[in-house]
Every structure is written in C-alpha cells, then in structure tokens.
Amino acid sequence: MSEKGTKEIIKVSDLRREFIVGGEKVKALRGVSFTIQEGEFVPIMGTSGSGK
C-alpha cells in the first residue's frame, strides 16, 4: 500500500519500446515508470497509430 493507504493496482518500472521503421530504430518509450492506485482514472493518450 502507498502512504495514503490506497492499494497499488498497476506498477510499471523502466518500460522501453523500440522498433524498426525504414531501417532506422525508433525509441518509442525510454524508461517509463508509473504506478496507478486503486480508484484512480488514468487516460492513455497518443497520436493515431502510436500503438496505445
């Protein structure tokens, strides 16, 4: 549980995503970390075709 007494339901640490486009490596995610607590609402945003 966190300091507030709420329960962590999702925890992501150092998330990375790379892919190849036209022979070049694209780093889409570079060490993303976050925690979502019980009861939180979290949007996932990005451009169309970004792989959300």
Question: Which tens digits make up the pLDDT trace of 1-52?
Answer: 556 678 999 999 999 999 899 999 999 889 999 999 999 999 989 888 877 7
CA distance 13 to 42: 17
pLDDT recorded at residue 6: 83
Q: Could you tell me the end-to-end alpha-carbon distance of the chain, in angstroms, rounded to an integer?
A: 28
H runs (alpha helix) in 1-52? none
Contact 7, 37 (CB under 8 A): yes
pLDDT of residue 1: 55
Phi and psi (nearest 5°) for 30?
A: -130, 85
Cβ(28)–Cβ(52) below 8 Å: no
The pLDDT of residue 18 is 92
